[in-house]
A and B are shown apart, each in its own frame.
Chain A
Amino acid sequence: MAATAPFLGRLLKLLIADDSNVIRRRIERSQQVDRLQVVRLASNGHEALELFRQTDPDVVTMDITMPQMDGNEGVARLVEMKPHVRILVVPALADKATAVEAMEKGANGFLSKPFTDRQLNDALEQLIAGA
């Protein structure tokens, strides 16, 4: 409960990190969660960290297989910077080991590609439930 208190009732800032422009735009366009507002889009792990520092988002969607820095390392670095950030990992990798690793690094949710708009919104709703 203490971990989610900083978000209570306010608009949440969303950062989208994926090396595919099509996917970044798809998430930006499809997300319909009332409390979420997309603040920035990042195309690799390094850029995600940089934009995270600049914009201080509350929620991040993160791909795993990205150039320069993979998503799991990115997840660990984001959690170090802001322990109560909510992270939805959105990889092409669909195996359980990848999901477990992401959760162990500090992710809060896992949605493998491809996904429907409904699956995306359900995952985001679940991610911020109670926040």
Chain B
Amino acid sequence: MLEEQDIRAFVYGTTQYFEVAAQQAATVGSPFLVTQGAPEIHDYTGVITVSGRRDGVVHFSAPRGMLTVLLMKMNESNVTHDNLRDLVGEVANTISGNVRRDFGKVFVISVPTVVSGHAQSIELPPGCRPMVIPINWRSHAAKLVVCLN
């Protein structure tokens, strides 16, 4: 179960990412628990498996348009499918890695895996309740999903 300070760490990591990497702040909506099923995903989703003192997954899911603009803001002209996949994994990895500032090295993260397309859903560990943190950046909406036991 996530506590308020845990959620705050993920929210900070998310806003920090956009502010530094894209030089343009994102706003974060009110986090909410998903009580039935798995959260819907966007075009690209970067998934990090968490082990150590906590176990579960963190995923960052974003539409193609957002990732394309994010790459362009990073002065990257290669906005191909492969680079969009790479970026979504990197965002998930960076946000998850940054929360170790608060959680310490007992929060162990995997290298990212990436899912593309809406049709697939992300498998969540049994027993955990996913917390969705809505992210708004420019005109785009994405989400960070944190599901930890």
> Which A residues have a C-beta under 8 Å from some C-beta of B?
19-23, 25-26, 29-30, 65-67, 91-95, 97-98, 112-116
Within 8 A of A (CB), among B73-98: 74-76, 78, 82-83, 86-87, 89-90, 93-94, 96-98
Given A93-B100, A114-B21, the answer on whether A20 and B82 have CB atoms closer than 8 Å is no
Q: State the Cβ distance, A9 to closest chain B Cβ, in Å.
A: 31
A-chain residues with CB within 8 Å of residue B103 when the two chains form the complex? 95
How far, in whole Å, are A113 and B18 apart by their CA atoms in the complex?
Answer: 11
A-B complex: 8 closest residue pairs judged by Cβ atoms: A92-B97, A95-B100, A114-B21, A114-B20, A97-B105, A93-B97, A92-B94, A20-B90
In the complex, which residues of chain A have a beta carbon less than 8 angstroms from the beta carbon of B105?
93, 95, 97-98
Q: Are A114 and B17 in contact (CB under 8 A)?
A: yes
Chain B interface size range: 20 to 34
- Asked whether, in the complex, the Cβ of A22 is within 8 Å of the Cβ of B98, the reply is no
| Given A22-B86, A25-B76, A65-B93: A112 touches B98 (CB 8 Å cut-off) | yes
Question: Which of A25, A92, A97 lies in contact with B93, CB distance below 8 A?
Answer: A92
Partner of A29, one of B75, B87, B96, B109: B75
Query: Is there an interface contact between A26 and B74, defined as CB atoms closer than 8 Å?
Result: yes
Per-residue contact bits, chain B 15-52, to A (CB 8 Å; 1 contact, 0 not): 01100110100000000000000000000000000000
Of the candidates A21, A29, A95, A114, which one forms a contact with B104 in the assembled complex, judged by CB atoms under 8 Å apart?
A95
Whether B83 lies near A21 (C-beta < 8 A) is yes
Contacts A21-B86, A65-B109, A95-B104 given; does A116 touch B97 at CB 8 Å: no
User: Residue among A20, A66, A116 with the most chain B CB within 10 A?
Assistant: A20
Shortest CB–CB separation between residue A70 and chain B, in angstroms?
9
Distance between Cα atoms of A93 and B13 in the complex (Å): 11
- Interface flag for B111 (CB, 8 Å): yes
Q: Contact at B90–A66, with CB atoms within 8 Å?
A: no
- What A residues does B94 contact at CB under 8 A? 92, 113-114
